[in-house]
């Protein structure tokens, strides 16, 4: 990706497909010049007024008599625009072809096609947003649940950024004081009192710990997790799936071997998007179609974060249940055991179920929609670890790892203090922490890192 901010970029900013309006966005020093070549104002003006909606015809400069579209032009001059550059939006009729033609005319007038996320990258490079805020823009657009959306909005507002920036400033301040001590050892500059230093380092570390305490939940809110329903045939896996989703998604019959393919659907578990897979009942079979289904169950188990081993509680344990339990154990996944059909006389005790595999046991009656036990078991495994709203939510693995690295570096600095080592040793850990914290907000982001982050954005964002 180019880092030059000298050229002018353009892209369709609305989703592809027919819609109410289609927006072509242009940003860069030549934005106005480029657009003026492809529009005719309905008013008798030549230049757009900042932040006014002007009615325009968009024309093809090569064939100016027939207008491509009739719409609105919005001009937001830099630096007070999204990207910090001159930005123009052409809002036209939301059709795939018409919007593409408007973009095409703009590109032929001197703009170049924007790369994915390049508008937001420019906003970052021009200091309109820091890196964590820029990443929040993509999260906001992709948020799968209301909770993930709230976390992204919070991050965009800069809460995590300001917590991290404050910690980084505290580290920089300590470094400056230690460096003065290093530089002026011969002179009359007082050494940084080590008690002070120890306390400040401790308090920085505590805040980091607190921010990280909510990280796992934040990550789950953003990425969700995959649960696979496995077990022997006819135990009620598909019924359980339908009950959890509250729709008739999977086919249920009394015939063992009903489900042949993996059936997937998502549901919202108190703010966490869960991808649920129903699978073919596991048993040895000569039926070639069922055989493929059973193989796919194995693949779904391998891909899941958590396996729910489903048992028919009205039937004593059979060999196929034990085989299924062995497969789950062999896959090395986090697991729960679901004893289903509790509306019927019980034939399996909780101890029998718990003896199959080392996992928490819950009871359900899928046929009656009584699946609260599964939801609770999943909740317990996930843990609540709610983020501290004042410090901001960590919802990206990148941020989590950078903050953990900062803690590791600070631990080095604290050890150096405890061991009575000279200031330069303490400064090494602090410098590492400053670097790691700066990767969250972008002060120490490399070009490669920026490329990786912004490549995941959509074009036009």
User: CB count, 10 Å around CB of 418?
Assistant: 11
Q: Give me the residues paired with residue 54 across strands.
A: 73
Interaction of residue 259 with ligand GTP, rule CB under 6 A: yes
User: Which of 99, 145, 238, 396 forms a contact with ligand GTP (CB under 6 A)?
Assistant: 238
CB of 238 to ligand GTP, least distance (A): 3
CA gap 296, 29 in Å, rounded: 54
CB of 290 to ligand GTP, least distance (A): 9
**Window 274 to 303, contacts with ligand GTP (CB under 6 A):** 280-281
Q: Which does 234 bind (CB under 5 to 8 A by kind): Mg ion, ligand GTP, none?
A: ligand GTP
Interaction of residue 318 with ligand GTP, rule CB under 6 A: no
Closest-by-Cβ residue to ligand GTP is: 281
CB of 253 to Mg ion, least distance (A): 8
Interaction of residue 256 with ligand GTP, rule CB under 6 A: yes
Interaction of residue 120 with Mg ion, rule CB under 5 A: no
Q: Name which of 311, 295, 290 is nearest 229 in CA terms.
A: 311
Q: For CA atoms 281, 284, 288, 293, give the dihedral sign.
A: positive
User: Which of 99, 120, 238, 327 forms a contact with Mg ion (CB under 5 A)?
Assistant: 238
Q: Give me the residues paired with residue 334 across strands.
A: 306
Q: Which does 33 bind (CB under 5 to 8 A by kind): Mg ion, ligand GTP, none?
A: none
Q: Give me the residues paired with residue 272 across strands.
A: 269
Q: Which C-beta is closer to ligand GTP: that of 143 or that of 235?
A: 235
Interaction of residue 237 with ligand GTP, rule CB under 6 A: yes
User: CB count, 10 Å around CB of 434?
Assistant: 22
**Window 253 to 282, contacts with Mg ion (CB under 5 A):** 258-259
Interaction of residue 340 with ligand GTP, rule CB under 6 A: yes
Q: Which does 440 bind (CB under 5 to 8 A by kind): ligand GTP, Mg ion, none?
A: none
Interaction of residue 327 with ligand GTP, rule CB under 6 A: no
Q: Which C-beta is closer to ligand GTP: that of 28 or that of 231?
A: 231
Tokens at residue 346, please? 């019980």
Q: Give me the residues paired with residue 72 across strands.
A: 55, 91
Q: Which C-beta is closer to ligand GTP: that of 116 or that of 236?
A: 236
Interaction of residue 364 with Mg ion, rule CB under 5 A: no
Interaction of residue 236 with ligand GTP, rule CB under 6 A: yes
CA gap 404, 401 in Å, rounded: 5
**Window 67 to 96, contacts with Mg ion (CB under 5 A):** none
Q: Which C-beta is closer to ligand GTP: that of 287 or that of 424?
A: 287
208 CB contacts (<8 Å, ≥6 apart)? Answer: 167, 403, 406, 407, 410
Q: Which does 113 bind (CB under 5 to 8 A by kind): Mg ion, ligand GTP, none?
A: none
Strand duo 263-269 + 334-340: pairing: unpaired
Choose one: 11-19, 82-90, 137-145, 248-256; the region binding ligand GTP (CB under 6 A).
Answer: 248-256
Interaction of residue 239 with ligand GTP, rule CB under 6 A: yes
- C-alpha distances (whole Å) from 322 to each of 57, 217, 283, 409, 410 are 71, 33, 11, 47, 49
407: alpha, beta or left? (left if phi > 0; alpha if psi -120 to 50): alpha
- Kindly provide the b/e burial profile for residues 381-414, where b requires at least 16 CB atoms within 10 angstroms of the residue's own CB: bbeeeebeeebbbbbbebbbebbebbbebbebbb
CA gap 393, 214 in Å, rounded: 7
User: Where do the DSSP E strands lie in 82-221?
Assistant: 87-94, 112-113
Binding site residues, ligand GTP, CB under 6 A:
233-239, 252-254, 256-259, 280-281, 340-341, 343-344, 365-367
Binding site residues, Mg ion, CB under 5 A:
237-238, 258-259
């Amino acid at each position: 990706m180019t880092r030059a901010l000298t050229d002018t970029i353009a892209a369709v900013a609305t989703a592809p497909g027919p819609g109410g309006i289609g927006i072509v966005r242009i940003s860069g020093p030549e934005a106005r010049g480029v657009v003026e070549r492809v529009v005719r104002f309905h008013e008798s003006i030549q230049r757009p007024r900042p932040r006014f909606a002007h009615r325009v015809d968009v024309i093809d400069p090569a064939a100016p008599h027939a207008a491509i579209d009739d719409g609105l032009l919005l001009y937001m001059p830099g630096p007070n625009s999204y990207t910090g550059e001159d930005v123009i939006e052409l809002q036209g009729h939301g059709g795939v072809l018409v919007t593409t033609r408007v973009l095409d005319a703009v590109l032929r007038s001197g703009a170049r096609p924007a790369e994915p996320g390049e508008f937001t990258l420019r906003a970052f490079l021009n200091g309109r947003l820091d890196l964590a805020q820029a990443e929040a823009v993509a999260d906001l657009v992709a948020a799968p649940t209301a909770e993930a959306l709230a976390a992204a909005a919070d991050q965009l507002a800069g809460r995590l950024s300001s917590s991290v920036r404050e910690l980084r400033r505290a580290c920089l301040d300590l470094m400056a004081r230690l460096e003065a001590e290093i530089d002026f050892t011969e002179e009359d500059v007082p050494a940084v009192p080590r008690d002070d230093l120890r306390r400040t380092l401790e308090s920085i570390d505590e805040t980091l710990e607190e921010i990280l305490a909510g990280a796992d939940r934040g990550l789950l809110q953003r990425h969700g997790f995959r649960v696979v329903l496995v077990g022997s045939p006819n135990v009620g896996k598909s019924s359980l799936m339908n009950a959890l989703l509250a729709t008739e998604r999977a086919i249920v019959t009394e015939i063992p071997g009903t489900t042949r393919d993996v059936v997937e659907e998502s549901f919202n578990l108190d703010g966490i998007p869960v991808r649920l897979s129903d699978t073919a009942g596991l048993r040895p079979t000569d039926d070639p179609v069922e055989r493929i289904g059973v193989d796919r169950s194995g693949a779904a188990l391998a891909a899941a974060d958590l396996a729910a081993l489903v048992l028919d509680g009205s039937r004593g344990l059979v060999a196929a249940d034990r085989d299924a339990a062995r497969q789950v154990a062999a896959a090395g996944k986090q697991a729960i055991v679901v004893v289903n059909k509790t509306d019927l006389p019980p034939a399996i005790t909780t101890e029998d179920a718990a003896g199959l595999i080392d996992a928490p046991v819950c009871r359900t009656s899928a046929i009656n929609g009584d699946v609260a036990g599964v939801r609770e078991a999943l909740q317990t495994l996930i843990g609540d670890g709610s983020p501290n709203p004042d410090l901001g939510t960590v919802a990206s693995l990148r941020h989590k790892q950078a903050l953990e690295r900062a803690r590791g570096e600070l631990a080095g600095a604290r050890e150096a203090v405890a061991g009575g080592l000279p200031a330069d040793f303490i400064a090494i850990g602090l410098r590492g922490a400053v670097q790691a914290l700066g990767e969250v907000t972008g002060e120490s982001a490399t070009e490669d890192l920026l490329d990786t982050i912004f490549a995941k954005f959509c074009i036009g964002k």
